[in-house]
Amino acid sequence: MPIDDVAAQDRPRHDWTRAEVEALFDLPFAELVFQAAAVHRRHFDPAEVQMSQLLSVKTGGCAENCGYCSQSAHFDTGLKAEKLMPASDVIAAAMSAKAGGAQRFCMGAAWRDLKDRDLPKVAAMISGVKALGLETCATLGMLTADQAKALKAAGLDYYNHNLDTSPEYYPTVVSTRTYDDRLDTLAHVRAAGMSTCCGGIVGMGETRSDRAGLLQALANLPEHPDSLPINDLMPVVGTPLGNSQPVDGLEFVRTIAVARILCPRSIVRLSAGREHMSREQQALCFLAGANSIFIGGKLLTTANPEVDEDQALLADLGMRPMTMANEATA
């Protein structure tokens, strides 16, 4: 293929149709993974993986009714609500994360939206973590335009706000926040000059068409997500989705591959759910274009592989941490 054609092929598109995305999902598995791997190699070093660590800085008691979430006040999951952590404790955890190999430190609070009264405390966390030389990320619920600007001023690099699933399936999962609410917060984040971290969850009873719809919605945003996490549901007893049947492992790999093709320059994160994935499935995800993971034995409230397990896996695969320069210019 001529060089100009390759460049045109990988130019980010924002006009994907559902039929086009479903056609990618329907490709023979080997062909789909081959195409995704080729796209990945044109923009990233396939031996590099970006390393993030996530900390719940305010756990439980959330007013939202997201059907997958252990932290919702609507469900009895046995999780005790806690207050916002002191900034000093968060910064200490970030120091430990950096020592363990994390490049980005993500702070999550179980809120429907960020309250102005909590903004100074959150800003202190962000600036303290940033001072350690780590990239900063936060997920705090919905934001106003002014709050987004304040977080940017505090040193926040990324803001996570997932779309969760397709627009059609979304009301089945959550009713206390609309799809447009999520899109509005993402618009505020982009306008403030922050990078977006935005993806979704599979394994919530959705169809392949819904998975295609999620990726279509992400790819057709005004700007592709800078980080695109694909979560495999970790069912939580007591939530409406606590008895969900898992998505087939090869179907999950297909989802990673399609995400890579649709958003060629995004960091695609193999996110929650690695705890129940085999080493072989994770390796296929990396082959299909995933190039980011969460490290550390815990995500917000669910299990994650221990650091030594990840180190052994990456060593066996011949992979290494992504250099910050490569991430910034990918």
How is residue 45 written in tokens?
A: 């070093």
44 and 215 Cβ atoms separated by less than 8 Å: no
Beta bridge partners of 196: 159
Contact by Cβ (8 Å): 174, 66: yes
Q: Which bin fits 61, alpha (ψ -120 to 50), beta or left (φ > 0)?
A: left
Of 137, 198, 263, 285, which residue is the catalytic one? 137
Of 66, 198, 263, 285, which one is the catalytic site residue? 66
Contact yes or no for 174/64 (Cβ under 8 A) = yes
Residue 66 falls in the annotated catalytic set: yes
Catalytic member of 260, 269, 274, 285? 269
CB contact at 8 A, 73 and 63? yes
The question of whether 197 is a catalytic residue gets the answer yes
- Selecting among 106, 198, 263, 285, the annotated active-site residue is 106
Per the DSSP assignment, residues forming a β-bridge with 231 are 201
Q: By three-state DSSP, how is residue 131 classified?
A: coil
Q: Coil, strand or helix: which one is 170? A: helix
Q: In the block, which residue shows the tokens 């989802």?
A: 255
Rounded CA gap, 274 and 279, in Å? 9
For residues 199 and 228, the answer to whether their CB atoms sit within 8 Å is yes
Q: Which of 104, 197, 198, 211 is catalytic?
A: 197
Is 263 among the residues known to form the active site?
no
Catalytic site positions: 62, 66, 69, 106, 137, 197, 269
